[in-house]
Every structure is written in structure tokens, then in C-alpha cells.
Amino acid sequence: AQTVTQSQPEMSVQEAETVTLSCTYDTSESDYYLFWYKQPPSRQMILVIRQEAYKQQNATENRFSVNFQKAAKSFSLKISDSQLGDAAMYFCACRATSGTYKYIFGTGTRLKVLA
């Protein structure tokens, strides 16, 4: 069975600073994908970034990057130059590449951005 754990229910960051959101996962699958989703107050679920487990290079999307540590089963999200619009719930998710196509989501981290 797969599990995804986000141990930080809430985080705060000063505008323009950098913040890292933690995510650990457990899976018996040999290959899988990892995702970070953002849910602003509008409640839309927006894909932020994805990482393919077989790729060693960490994914980057503009101000968002991940620190993927496969051996430690860790997949943290770094947000640089934080903006007020980054305030949201952030969910980490894992999906195997074969078998079940279920996405397993973490419980989320609420990010507050302070002006």
C-alpha cells in the first residue's frame, strides 16, 4: 500500500523569502510519479510540479522546485521569492506507473504568506 505523509499542517513565510514544504511517502512500487498540487481559497486544485521517480534530476517550474531524495522517500517542495498569491493549501501526491492508477494524497500543508 502507498502512503503519503505531510507532517506540517501549517507553515508561514515572509513575502520574497523561501519556504520548503515537506512530504514523505512509502510505496512498494519500483516506479512511480510524484506531484505537488496547490489549492487556493478558490478551492481549485492546480498542479504545481511533477517528478518522475526514475529521474535523478530535481524538477523545476519557475519559482517552484523539488528536492527529491529517492532513498529517503522524501519529496519536498521549495518555493522561492514567495508571493502573496502562493498562499494556499499544498498537497503532495503519489501515483504508481502500473497497476492501480489511484493517486494517494497527503493531508496537506496550509501556507501563509506574510506581507
Q: How far apart are the C-alpha atoms of 39 and 112, rounded to whole Å? A: 12
The single residue among 13, 19, 35, 92 that binds another protein, judged by CB under 8 A, is: 35
Contacts of 15 (CB under 8 A, 6+ apart): 82, 83, 84, 113, 114, 115
86 φ, ψ (degrees, to nearest 5): -80, -10
**Least separation in angstroms between CB 85 and another protein:** 18
Q: Is 91 in the site for another protein (CB under 8 A)?
A: yes
Least distance from C-beta 18 to another protein, angstroms? 24
When asked if residue 64 is in the footprint of another protein (CB under 8 A), the reply is no
Q: Is 33 in the site for another protein (CB under 8 A)?
A: yes
Told to check if 52 binds another protein by CB under 8 A, we report yes
By the rule CB under 8 A, 100 interacts with another protein: yes
In angstroms, the CA 79 to CA 50 distance is 14
Residue 60 is a binding residue for another protein (CB under 8 A): no
Q: Please, which residues have CB within 8 angstroms of residue 81's CB and are 6 or more apart in sequence?
A: 16, 17, 18, 63
DSSP β-ladder status, 3-5 and 46-52: unpaired
Q: Which residues bind another protein (CB under 8 A)?
A: 32-33, 35, 37, 42-45, 47, 50, 52, 91, 95-98, 100-103, 105, 107-108
